[in-house]
């Protein structure tokens, strides 16, 4: 799903796509976000970001996500947040399991 362009956010996303396994749902969300204006992108190896607030928490927080993206929703002219890459496998639902990534989705995005 490598993104083209000189945008530093897209370059960072390309690096993360090579480093981590994303679920089908996460890849589809990234496809939509890449068409918008990305305002902020943050990722971490330690701790993570809260699903509801986007706040960073250390390892002791029960639910953390490794990647947080703020982007502009062009239809509503508002800022939205997307968090991806749950820090534990328990947070994956069966349809979001990165290990079940279908080749059709992955090949469309690469």
User: Could you tell me if residue 2 is inside a domain?
Assistant: no
Alpha-carbon gap, residue 108 to 6, rounded angstroms: 21
pLDDT category at 88 given cuts 50, 70, 90 is low
User: Is residue 42 a contact partner of residue 64, using CB atoms and an 8 Å limit?
Assistant: no
Domain that holds residue 92: 8-109
User: Could you tell me if residue 104 is inside a domain?
Assistant: yes
> What contacts 93, CB < 8 A, 6 or more positions away?
none
Residue 22: per-residue pLDDT: 94
User: Could you tell me if residue 102 is inside a domain?
Assistant: yes
Q: What DSSP designation does 82 have?
A: E
User: Could you tell me if residue 53 is inside a domain?
Assistant: yes
Residue 97: per-residue pLDDT: 35
Mean pLDDT for the stretch of residues 77-95: 73
User: Could you tell me if residue 60 is inside a domain?
Assistant: yes
End-to-end CA distance of the chain: 3
Q: What is the pLDDT of residues 35-81, one digit of tens each?
A: 899 999 999 988 899 988 999 988 777 778 999 999 999 888 899 99
Q: How many domains does the chain have?
A: 1
User: Could you tell me if residue 48 is inside a domain?
Assistant: yes
User: Could you tell me if residue 3 is inside a domain?
Assistant: no
Task: Calculate the average pLDDT of the chain.
Answer: 78
pLDDT > 60? residue 13 = yes
User: Could you tell me if residue 1 is inside a domain?
Assistant: no
State what percent of residues in the chain have pLDDT above 70. Answer: 74
User: Is residue 14 a contact partner of residue 38, using CB atoms and an 8 Å limit?
Assistant: no
């Amino acid at each position: 799903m490598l993104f083209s362009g000189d945008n530093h956010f897209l370059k960072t996303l390309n690096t993360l796509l090579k480093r981590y396994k994303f679920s089908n749902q996460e890849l589809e969300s990234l496809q939509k976000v890449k068409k918008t204006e990305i305002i902020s992108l943050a990722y971490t190896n330690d701790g993570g970001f809260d699903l509801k607030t986007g706040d960073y928490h250390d390892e002791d927080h029960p639910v953390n996500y490794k990647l947080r993206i703020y982007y502009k929703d062009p239809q509503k002219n508002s800022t939205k947040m997307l968090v991806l890459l749950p820090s534990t496998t328990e947070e994956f639902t069966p349809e979001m399991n990165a290990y079940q990534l279908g080749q059709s989705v992955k090949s469309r995005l690469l």
